[in-house]
Protein backbone atom coordinates (compact mmCIF):
# COMPACT_ATOMS: atom_id res chain seq x y z
CA UNK A 1 0.00 0.00 0.00
CA UNK A 2 1.29 3.45 -0.89
CA UNK A 3 0.92 5.53 2.23
CA UNK A 4 2.22 8.68 0.64
CA UNK A 5 3.16 10.37 -2.60
CA UNK A 6 6.88 9.69 -2.71
CA UNK A 7 9.31 12.09 -4.35
CA UNK A 8 11.48 9.18 -5.39
CA UNK A 9 8.69 7.66 -7.52
CA UNK A 10 7.86 11.07 -8.95
CA UNK A 11 11.44 11.73 -10.02
CA UNK A 12 11.83 8.23 -11.49
CA UNK A 13 8.70 8.74 -13.55
CA UNK A 14 9.68 12.24 -14.57
CA UNK A 15 13.16 11.26 -15.80
CA UNK A 16 12.35 7.67 -16.79
CA UNK A 17 15.17 6.33 -14.60
CA UNK A 18 16.63 6.43 -11.10
CA UNK A 19 18.29 9.80 -10.48
CA UNK A 20 20.95 10.30 -7.82
CA UNK A 21 20.60 13.48 -5.80
CA UNK A 22 24.11 14.50 -4.73
CA UNK A 23 24.52 16.76 -1.66
CA UNK A 24 27.23 19.38 -2.23
CA UNK A 25 28.62 22.34 -0.31
CA UNK A 26 28.24 25.51 -2.35
CA UNK A 27 30.46 27.61 -0.07
CA UNK A 28 27.70 30.07 0.88
CA UNK A 29 27.16 31.38 4.39
CA UNK A 30 23.96 31.95 6.36
CA UNK A 31 22.50 35.25 7.62
CA UNK A 32 21.55 33.54 10.85
CA UNK A 33 25.22 32.77 11.54
CA UNK A 34 27.20 35.60 10.02
CA UNK A 35 25.63 38.28 12.19
CA UNK A 36 23.15 39.67 9.65
CA UNK A 37 20.32 38.08 11.68
CA UNK A 38 22.31 36.51 14.51
CA UNK A 39 25.60 34.88 15.39
CA UNK A 40 23.98 32.01 17.27
CA UNK A 41 22.16 30.32 14.41
CA UNK A 42 19.23 27.98 14.80
CA UNK A 43 19.49 26.06 18.06
CA UNK A 44 19.84 22.80 16.10
CA UNK A 45 22.54 24.18 13.80
CA UNK A 46 25.65 22.03 13.80
CA UNK A 47 28.52 24.36 14.73
CA UNK A 48 31.19 22.05 13.40
CA UNK A 49 30.06 22.80 9.89
CA UNK A 50 31.29 26.35 10.52
CA UNK A 51 34.80 25.25 11.38
CA UNK A 52 37.66 26.44 9.16
CA UNK A 53 38.04 22.86 7.91
CA UNK A 54 34.52 22.91 6.55
CA UNK A 55 35.25 26.13 4.71
CA UNK A 56 38.23 24.64 2.92
CA UNK A 57 36.11 22.57 0.65
CA UNK A 58 36.60 21.32 -2.85
CA UNK A 59 34.73 23.27 -5.52
CA UNK A 60 31.13 22.07 -5.99
CA UNK A 61 32.08 20.86 -9.50
CA UNK A 62 34.91 18.71 -8.12
CA UNK A 63 32.69 17.36 -5.35
CA UNK A 64 30.11 16.36 -7.95
CA UNK A 65 32.61 14.85 -10.37
CA UNK A 66 34.04 12.69 -7.57
CA UNK A 67 30.59 11.30 -6.70
CA UNK A 68 29.67 10.74 -10.36
CA UNK A 69 32.85 8.78 -10.97
CA UNK A 70 32.09 6.56 -7.96
CA UNK A 71 28.45 5.93 -8.86
CA UNK A 72 28.28 6.04 -12.66
CA UNK A 73 28.07 2.23 -12.82
CA UNK A 74 24.66 2.53 -11.16
CA UNK A 75 23.33 5.92 -12.23
CA UNK A 76 23.33 7.93 -15.42
CA UNK A 77 21.37 10.94 -14.20
CA UNK A 78 22.29 13.27 -11.35
CA UNK A 79 20.80 16.22 -9.50
CA UNK A 80 23.37 18.27 -7.58
CA UNK A 81 21.85 19.41 -4.30
CA UNK A 82 23.38 22.49 -2.66
CA UNK A 83 22.61 21.53 0.91
CA UNK A 84 24.40 23.18 3.84
CA UNK A 85 23.88 26.83 4.79
CA UNK A 86 21.80 29.20 2.64
CA UNK A 87 22.53 28.68 -1.01
CA UNK A 88 20.74 31.77 -2.31
CA UNK A 89 22.58 34.02 0.15
CA UNK A 90 24.64 36.10 -2.28
CA UNK A 91 24.41 38.21 -5.41
CA UNK A 92 23.03 36.76 -8.63
CA UNK A 93 26.60 36.72 -9.98
CA UNK A 94 27.76 34.67 -6.99
CA UNK A 95 24.87 32.23 -7.39
CA UNK A 96 25.53 31.86 -11.12
CA UNK A 97 29.21 31.16 -10.48
CA UNK A 98 28.23 28.17 -8.32
CA UNK A 99 25.16 26.82 -10.12
CA UNK A 100 25.99 27.21 -13.80
CA UNK A 101 29.18 25.07 -13.97
CA UNK A 102 27.27 22.21 -12.29
CA UNK A 103 24.69 22.24 -15.08
CA UNK A 104 27.40 21.82 -17.71
CA UNK A 105 28.52 18.46 -16.35
CA UNK A 106 27.25 15.59 -18.53
CA UNK A 107 24.31 13.62 -17.05
CA UNK A 108 23.27 16.46 -14.75
CA UNK A 109 19.50 16.72 -15.26
CA UNK A 110 18.68 19.56 -12.88
CA UNK A 111 19.59 21.26 -9.64
CA UNK A 112 18.18 21.39 -6.11
CA UNK A 113 18.97 24.41 -3.92
CA UNK A 114 18.53 24.52 -0.15
CA UNK A 115 18.03 27.92 1.41
CA UNK A 116 16.06 30.08 3.87
CA UNK A 117 12.85 32.03 3.17
CA UNK A 118 14.65 35.33 3.85
CA UNK A 119 17.41 34.86 1.26
CA UNK A 120 15.71 36.15 -1.90
CA UNK A 121 15.63 39.41 -3.84
CA UNK A 122 13.79 40.41 -7.01
CA UNK A 123 16.97 39.82 -8.99
CA UNK A 124 17.34 36.33 -7.48
CA UNK A 125 13.72 35.45 -8.26
CA UNK A 126 14.27 36.59 -11.87
CA UNK A 127 17.41 34.47 -12.16
CA UNK A 128 15.69 31.41 -10.65
CA UNK A 129 12.86 31.83 -13.15
CA UNK A 130 15.38 31.87 -15.99
CA UNK A 131 17.10 28.80 -14.52
CA UNK A 132 13.79 26.93 -14.22
CA UNK A 133 13.17 27.44 -17.95
CA UNK A 134 16.49 25.74 -18.73
CA UNK A 135 16.59 22.81 -16.32
CA UNK A 136 14.75 20.94 -13.59
CA UNK A 137 14.85 23.19 -10.52
CA UNK A 138 13.80 22.48 -6.97
CA UNK A 139 14.08 25.07 -4.19
CA UNK A 140 14.17 23.68 -0.66
CA UNK A 141 13.21 26.07 2.11
CA UNK A 142 13.70 25.57 5.83
CA UNK A 143 10.44 26.14 7.66
CA UNK A 144 10.69 23.63 10.56
CA UNK A 145 7.42 24.74 12.16
CA UNK A 146 4.29 26.59 11.11
CA UNK A 147 4.31 28.49 14.42
CA UNK A 148 6.16 31.76 14.89
CA UNK A 149 6.47 31.10 18.61
CA UNK A 150 8.49 27.94 17.85
CA UNK A 151 10.60 29.68 15.19
CA UNK A 152 11.44 32.33 17.76
CA UNK A 153 12.21 29.76 20.43
CA UNK A 154 14.60 27.98 18.02
CA UNK A 155 16.17 31.28 16.89
CA UNK A 156 15.28 30.66 13.25
CA UNK A 157 15.43 34.37 12.50
CA UNK A 158 12.49 34.34 10.05
CA UNK A 159 8.73 34.08 10.26
CA UNK A 160 6.06 31.78 8.86
CA UNK A 161 4.82 34.75 6.82
CA UNK A 162 8.21 35.09 5.12
CA UNK A 163 8.02 31.40 4.21
CA UNK A 164 4.50 31.88 2.77
CA UNK A 165 5.54 34.82 0.67
CA UNK A 166 8.67 33.11 -0.75
CA UNK A 167 6.64 29.98 -1.57
CA UNK A 168 3.90 31.99 -3.28
CA UNK A 169 6.39 33.92 -5.36
CA UNK A 170 8.16 30.71 -6.47
CA UNK A 171 4.81 28.98 -7.16
CA UNK A 172 3.72 31.89 -9.38
CA UNK A 173 6.76 31.08 -11.51
CA UNK A 174 5.88 27.33 -11.46
CA UNK A 175 9.11 26.54 -9.61
CA UNK A 176 9.04 23.32 -7.60
CA UNK A 177 9.52 23.84 -3.85
CA UNK A 178 10.10 21.79 -0.72
CA UNK A 179 9.41 22.67 2.93
CA UNK A 180 11.74 21.22 5.57
CA UNK A 181 9.89 20.43 8.78
CA UNK A 182 11.04 19.12 12.14
CA UNK A 183 8.69 17.21 14.43
CA UNK A 184 9.29 17.35 18.18
CA UNK A 185 10.61 20.90 18.51
CA UNK A 186 10.54 22.27 22.07
CA UNK A 187 7.17 23.56 23.24
CA UNK A 188 5.20 21.81 20.48
CA UNK A 189 2.34 19.44 21.28
CA UNK A 190 0.85 17.04 18.72
CA UNK A 191 -1.86 19.53 17.87
CA UNK A 192 0.71 22.18 16.94
CA UNK A 193 2.54 19.74 14.65
CA UNK A 194 -0.76 18.83 12.95
CA UNK A 195 -1.46 22.54 12.50
CA UNK A 196 1.92 22.85 10.76
CA UNK A 197 0.80 20.13 8.31
CA UNK A 198 -2.47 21.98 7.75
CA UNK A 199 -0.56 25.18 7.14
CA UNK A 200 1.70 23.42 4.59
CA UNK A 201 -1.41 22.04 2.88
CA UNK A 202 -2.74 25.60 2.63
CA UNK A 203 0.25 27.08 0.78
CA UNK A 204 1.39 26.23 -2.78
CA UNK A 205 4.48 24.27 -1.69
CA UNK A 206 5.13 21.19 -3.87
CA UNK A 207 6.76 18.89 -1.34
CA UNK A 208 7.86 18.25 2.23
CA UNK A 209 10.91 16.81 3.96
CA UNK A 210 9.94 15.61 7.42
CA UNK A 211 12.52 15.05 10.16
CA UNK A 212 12.43 14.00 13.79
CA UNK A 213 14.22 16.21 16.30
CA UNK A 214 17.75 14.88 16.75
CA UNK A 215 20.38 16.00 19.23
CA UNK A 216 23.72 16.58 17.54
CA UNK A 217 26.81 17.36 19.59
CA UNK A 218 28.01 20.94 19.57
CA UNK A 219 24.51 22.40 19.10
CA UNK A 220 22.55 24.57 21.52
CA UNK A 221 20.04 21.73 21.65
CA UNK A 222 22.72 19.51 23.15
CA UNK A 223 22.98 21.86 26.12
CA UNK A 224 19.20 21.97 26.50
CA UNK A 225 19.01 18.18 26.23
CA UNK A 226 21.66 17.78 28.93
CA UNK A 227 19.60 20.04 31.18
CA UNK A 228 16.56 17.82 30.61
CA UNK A 229 14.70 20.50 28.65
CA UNK A 230 14.02 18.43 25.51
CA UNK A 231 11.85 15.37 25.06
CA UNK A 232 12.68 13.06 22.20
CA UNK A 233 10.33 10.70 20.41
CA UNK A 234 10.59 6.96 20.55
CA UNK A 235 10.35 5.53 17.05
CA UNK A 236 6.73 4.47 17.78
CA UNK A 237 5.74 7.96 18.98
CA UNK A 238 7.39 9.52 15.96
CA UNK A 239 5.66 7.14 13.53
CA UNK A 240 2.29 7.92 15.10
CA UNK A 241 2.73 11.70 14.74
CA UNK A 242 4.23 11.31 11.28
CA UNK A 243 1.09 9.40 10.14
CA UNK A 244 -1.16 12.17 11.42
CA UNK A 245 1.06 14.78 9.82
CA UNK A 246 0.97 13.08 6.41
CA UNK A 247 -2.79 12.60 6.61
CA UNK A 248 -3.18 16.35 6.98
CA UNK A 249 -1.06 17.25 3.94
CA UNK A 250 -2.54 17.61 0.45
CA UNK A 251 -2.53 14.38 -1.56
CA UNK A 252 -0.47 16.01 -4.35
CA UNK A 253 2.38 17.16 -2.11
CA UNK A 254 5.52 15.09 -2.64
CA UNK A 255 7.11 13.48 0.40
CA UNK A 256 10.88 13.72 0.03
CA UNK A 257 11.78 12.20 3.36
CA UNK A 258 10.01 10.73 6.38
CA UNK A 259 12.93 10.75 8.80
CA UNK A 260 16.43 12.15 9.24
CA UNK A 261 19.40 9.92 9.93
CA UNK A 262 22.81 10.43 11.42
CA UNK A 263 25.48 8.41 13.22
CA UNK A 264 27.29 8.84 16.54
CA UNK A 265 30.47 9.32 14.46
CA UNK A 266 28.86 12.40 12.92
CA UNK A 267 27.80 13.76 16.31
CA UNK A 268 24.44 12.01 16.84
CA UNK A 269 23.62 11.88 20.55
CA UNK A 270 19.93 10.91 20.50
CA UNK A 271 17.53 9.36 19.62
CA UNK A 272 19.71 6.43 18.63
CA UNK A 273 17.06 4.92 16.35
CA UNK A 274 18.09 7.74 13.98
CA UNK A 275 21.32 5.83 13.34
CA UNK A 276 19.56 2.79 11.91
CA UNK A 277 17.67 4.18 8.96
CA UNK A 278 16.44 1.05 7.24
CA UNK A 279 15.24 -0.63 10.47
CA UNK A 280 13.53 2.59 11.54
CA UNK A 281 11.85 3.06 8.15
CA UNK A 282 10.58 -0.53 8.44
CA UNK A 283 9.07 0.22 11.85
CA UNK A 284 7.48 3.41 10.49
CA UNK A 285 5.99 1.55 7.52
CA UNK A 286 4.66 -1.22 9.78
CA UNK A 287 2.96 1.37 12.00
CA UNK A 288 1.59 3.13 8.90
CA UNK A 289 0.14 -0.20 7.72
CA UNK A 290 -1.52 -0.87 11.07
CA UNK A 291 -2.90 2.66 11.27
CA UNK A 292 -4.11 2.58 7.63
CA UNK A 293 -2.21 5.84 7.09
CA UNK A 294 -3.02 7.61 3.82
CA UNK A 295 -1.73 10.98 2.76
CA UNK A 296 -4.40 13.65 2.54
CA UNK A 297 -7.30 11.74 4.12
CA UNK A 298 -7.71 14.38 6.84
CA UNK A 299 -7.93 17.14 4.25
CA UNK A 300 -11.11 19.14 4.69
S1 LIG B 1 19.44 28.37 8.61
FE2 LIG B 1 20.67 26.49 8.46
S3 LIG B 1 22.82 27.16 8.35
FE4 LIG B 1 21.58 28.91 9.04
S5 LIG B 1 21.74 28.85 11.30
FE6 LIG B 1 19.88 27.74 10.72
S7 LIG B 1 20.48 25.57 10.53
FE8 LIG B 1 22.37 26.84 10.54
| 24-49 exposure pattern, b = at least 16 Cβ within 10 A, e = fewer | bbbbbebbbbeeebeeebbbbbbbeb
Residue of 26, 28, 45 best suited for mutating to test ligand 1, as the one with most atoms within 8 Å of CB: 45
User: Using a 6 Å cutoff on CB, does residue 157 contact ligand 1?
Assistant: no
Report the alpha-carbon angle 58-80-196, nearest 5. 115
* Per-residue pLDDT, 57: 73
User: Using a 6 Å cutoff on CB, does residue 45 contact ligand 1?
Assistant: yes
The residue among 246, 283, 279, 259 whose CA lies nearest residue 5 is 246
Q: Mind listing the pLDDT tens digit for each residue in 16-42?
A: 999 999 999 999 999 999 999 999 999
Beta bridge partners of 176: 138
Contact assessment for residue 201 and residue 250, using Cβ atoms and an 8 Å cutoff: yes
Q: Mind listing the pLDDT tens digit for each residue in 237-280?
A: 999 999 999 999 999 999 999 999 999 998 999 999 999 999 99
Banded pLDDT at 55 (limits 50, 70, 90)? low
User: Please, what is the average pLDDT of the chain?
Assistant: 95
Beta bridge partners of 207: 178, 254
**Which atom of ligand 1 lies nearest, measured to the CA of 116?**
1
Residue 49 pLDDT more than 70?
no
* Per-residue pLDDT, 54: 52
Contact assessment for residue 79 and residue 19, using Cβ atoms and an 8 Å cutoff: yes
**CA 198 to ligand 1 centroid distance, Å:** 24
98/100 Cα distance (integer angstroms): 6
The structure's pTM equals 0.96
232/62 Cα distance (integer angstroms): 38
**CA 39 to ligand 1 centroid distance, Å:** 10
User: Using a 6 Å cutoff on CB, does residue 33 contact ligand 1?
Assistant: yes
Amino acid sequence: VEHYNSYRSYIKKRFGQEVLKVPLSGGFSCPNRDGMKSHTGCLFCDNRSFSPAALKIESPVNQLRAIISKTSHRYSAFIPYLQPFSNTYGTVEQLKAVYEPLLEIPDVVGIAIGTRPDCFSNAIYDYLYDLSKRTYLSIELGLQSGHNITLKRCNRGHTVEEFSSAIKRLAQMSIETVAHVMLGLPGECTDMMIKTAQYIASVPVSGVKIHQLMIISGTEFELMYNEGLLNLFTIEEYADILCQFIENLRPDQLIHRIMADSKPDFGLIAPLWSANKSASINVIHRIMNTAGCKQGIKQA
